[in-house]
Amino acid sequence: MLPVMMTTKITGDFQHWASVGQQRIEARLQTLLPSADLAPQRLHQAMRYAVLGAGKRVRPLLAFAAGELTEAGPGRVALAGGAVELIHAYSLVHDDLPCMDDDVLRRGRPTCHVEFDEATALLVGDALQSLAFQVLAENCLTDDASAQLEMVRLLAAASGSRGMAGGQAIDLAAIGKSLTLPELEFMHIHKTGAIIRAATLLGARCGTALADAELHKLDHFAKCIGLAFQVIDDVLDAEATTATLGKTAGKDAQNNKPTYVSALGVGEARKLATQLHQDALAALDGFGERALRLRQLADFVVMRKF
């Protein structure tokens, strides 16, 4: 069951749009993933378990919203957003492994290695990552072949050692230490922000090309939202319940991890998220109505309760 995008300020119109997007991406992921009865069945069952039926799908929704800026076809954006969601799902499976965050609950269910086993969970992550790039390589996502190659490069860079994997390495090395705010920002721009940025840029690249200045503004929007997403993630880890989050609450403090809450306290962390939200919205000035969904997603990111 996909989570419903409910916040205090978000309108019914946005909820409907988000729900349509969630269903579209769910249907796309269903067909992108190998069937569970195809050999090796256990691996394919575990891949489907890790990806389908849950998750907020924030990254594909960002891709759809950015695609609306460039009049991209939703079918193409679903493929690009699906590829990003496969990378995201792989990162969650690996992050939950005993050698990393060692967690038993994800998206309201047992984590992949608990439901299956560690070796299978490792392979699930590997195979989801490969599948993401296969999806980008074997489908037509834009009429411009060089733009499509750039999309492959973007996602590879965002997920590699100078992106998400690098951010995760910094995160693991920081356990038990305190980081300065610039160090925290550097870690999260990589660990969480890089994939959120990639989702936004890939969605936009499925449509007509943006001018460099517009692309720069969209990238700045995504950078602010990626960081705001993490600041709120830290706040929710400290304030929300395990039942609401669908993952173990309070893990950051329990694992002695430096976070925006440990560095600033909840009140100041929320203020930082509000500032990032405003910066993100300011970056969209000049895009007009075409950026409506991006603005609403920015609202959702800072007001979310899960």
User: Which residues of this protein are in contact with ligand GRG, per CB under 6 A?
Assistant: 55-56, 58, 88, 91-92, 94-95, 107, 164-165, 168, 191-192, 230, 233
- How do 105-106 and 109-110 pair as beta strands? antiparallel
Least separation in angstroms between CB 155 and ligand GRG: 13
C-beta closer to ligand GRG: residue 175 or 209: 175
Residues 6 or more apart whose Cβ sits within 8 Å of residue 304: 5, 7, 56, 232, 236
Least separation in angstroms between CB 91 and ligand GRG: 4
Of 58, 26, 78, 60, the C-alpha closest to 302 is 58
One-character DSSP codes across the chain: -PPP---SS--HHHHHHHHHHHHHHHHHHHHHSPPTTSSSHHHHHHHHHHHTT-S--HHHHHHHHHHHHTT--HHHHHHHHHHHHHHHHHHHHHHTSTTTT--SEETTEE-HHHHS-HHHHHHHHHHHHHHHHHHHHHS---S-HHHHHHHHHHHHHHHSTTTHHHHHHHHHHTTTS---HHHHHHHHIIIIIHHHHHHHHHHHHTSSPPPHHHHHHHHHHHHHHHHHHHHHHHHHHHHS-HHHHSS-TTHHHHTT---HHHHH-HHHHHHHHHHHHHHHHHHTTT-GGGGHHHHHHHHHHHH---
C-beta closer to ligand GRG: residue 97 or 281: 97
C-beta closer to ligand GRG: residue 68 or 171: 171
C-beta closer to ligand GRG: residue 59 or 76: 59
C-beta closer to ligand GRG: residue 92 or 189: 92
- CA contacts within 13 A on the Cβ side of 238: 20
Least separation in angstroms between CB 289 and ligand GRG: 26
Least separation in angstroms between CB 304 and ligand GRG: 8
Cis peptide before 40 (omega within 30 of 0): yes
C-beta closer to ligand GRG: residue 79 or 89: 89
C-beta closer to ligand GRG: residue 198 or 210: 198
Least separation in angstroms between CB 188 and ligand GRG: 8
C-beta closer to ligand GRG: residue 65 or 210: 65
Least separation in angstroms between CB 95 and ligand GRG: 4
Least separation in angstroms between CB 210 and ligand GRG: 25
Least separation in angstroms between CB 171 and ligand GRG: 7
